[in-house]
Amino acid sequence: MKPSPLAPGRPDHRWTPASAWLVALLSTGLLLSCARADASKPARSKATAGKARKGAKGAKAKKRSGPQVHGKAARKDRKGHWKKLPDKVKRVVEGCGTERAFTGRFVNHKAKGTYTCVRCGAPLFPSTAKFKSGSGWPSFDDAIPGAVKEVRDADGHRTEIQCARCKAHLGHVFRGERMTSKNTRHCVNSVSLEFSKVPALREAYFAGGCFWGVEHLLESVPGVVDATSGYMGGTVHAPTYKQVSGGRTGHAEAVRVRFDPAKVSFEQLARRFFEIHDPTQVNRQGPDRGTQYRSAVFVVDSEQERVTRKLMALLTKKGLKVATQVRPAGTFWPAEGYHQDWYKKKGTKPYCHARTQRF
């Protein structure tokens, strides 16, 4: 990205009221180009309906209720496209533009909650990290772990920040300005953000056989906001249930758990995960066999990996031959609508998942 001579946060710039308004004028209509390989959208393809499992035939995927920040509906549809944005937002989020200084709706915003990605809904910044920098753009001295990706600009002068999930352009990060004790300023465009009064949520991804049972038993844990069945760990774009169940995509049936860390910790969820399935079974769980039924934890950061391996070590000391894989979290593809909340809708209990005390 080619920086403006008075780009916000440049270390060699001294902010004054006059210079701030000058930036506002210069940035009007400014569109900055990004040397980013993923700038183009994925091509649309004809949607393929998944088949219902365990003998259910002809079931059609239910229409999802639309974008939600923390709800069941995902911002990415089954064709792999993120939320459609208005042109003025698209110019910034997908074209790496910059909104005019002091014009964004979140510059002076002071509510308590979580700032989320406008395109995919991922939680990005807690309101507790927001501070007044005087730059004309919302500023945060911290981000939710694993939520923001840093990419060095082509000219080497600045570091762009993107949503780690969908790679939406957020703004830039600057360090060394000594504005807060954390010495970091995430300078973000307001149009790249949405706001939720829900506290900053965390995410965890577990695979332990049929996702119906894993979802059902983890969603009932106090502090869990929602659990979504889906696919992770494979190589095929927007896989269907039919493809995954055939064992040809490399995906595991996985569950995304969104939780409030103030009410439940990742370690508590991971302990429950190891107790609701058999972590010693390889590429199967009960009567379900195949790599798609493998036991795995897809971690979003080093802390989740540390906790997972600690629990696996405890189980090993107890004599269990743990076969659970620990892998970095990749793209999570929500499963077809009829898979979601399966046991709630059926009014029955999981057929191959039950809690067994192991810790």
pLDDT digits (tens, 9 = 90+) for 74-106: 455 444 457 789 999 999 999 999 999 999 999
Q: Which of 120, 163, 187, 352 is catalytic?
A: 187
Using CA atoms, how far apart are residues 172 and 252, in angstroms rounded to an integer? 35
Q: What is the crossing angle of helices 211-219 and 266-276, to 10°?
A: 130
- pLDDT of 35 > 50? The answer is no
User: Which residue, chain included where needed, has tokens 């577990």?
Assistant: 206
210 is a catalytic site residue: yes
333-334 and 224-232 strand pairing: antiparallel
Q: Which helix (H) or strand (E) holds 215?
A: helix 211-219
Q: Which of 34, 120, 166, 210 is catalytic?
A: 210
Burial of 318 (0-12, 13-18, 19+ CB in 10 A): exposed
In sequence order, the 6+-apart residues with CB closer than 8 A to the CB of 228 are 72, 74, 215, 255, 256, 258, 334, 335, 340
Distances (CA, A) of 1 to 152, 252, 305, 325: 9, 38, 34, 39
The fold adopted by the segment(s) 202-346 is Peptide Methionine Sulfoxide Reductase; Chain A (3.30.1060)
In the chain, domain spans: 17-35+82-196, 202-346
Identify the architecture of domain 17-35+82-196 in CATH.
Answer: Beta Complex (2.170)
**How do residues 256-299 score in pLDDT, each as one tens digit?**
998 988 889 999 999 999 999 999 999 999 889 999 999 999 99
187 is a catalytic site residue: yes
Confidence at 39, pLDDT banded by 50, 70, 90: very low
- pLDDT of 11 > 90? The answer is no
Residue 81: per-residue pLDDT: 59
Whether 281 and 295 have beta carbons less than 8 Å apart is answered as yes
- pLDDT of 186 > 90? The answer is yes
User: Which residue, chain included where needed, has tokens 């496209």?
Assistant: 81
Using CA atoms, how far apart are residues 63 and 44, in angstroms rounded to an integer? 18
Using CA atoms, how far apart are residues 183 and 9, in angstroms rounded to an integer? 12
Q: Which of 55, 247, 267, 80 is nearest to 166 (CA)?
A: 80
Using CA atoms, how far apart are residues 228 and 176, in angstroms rounded to an integer? 40
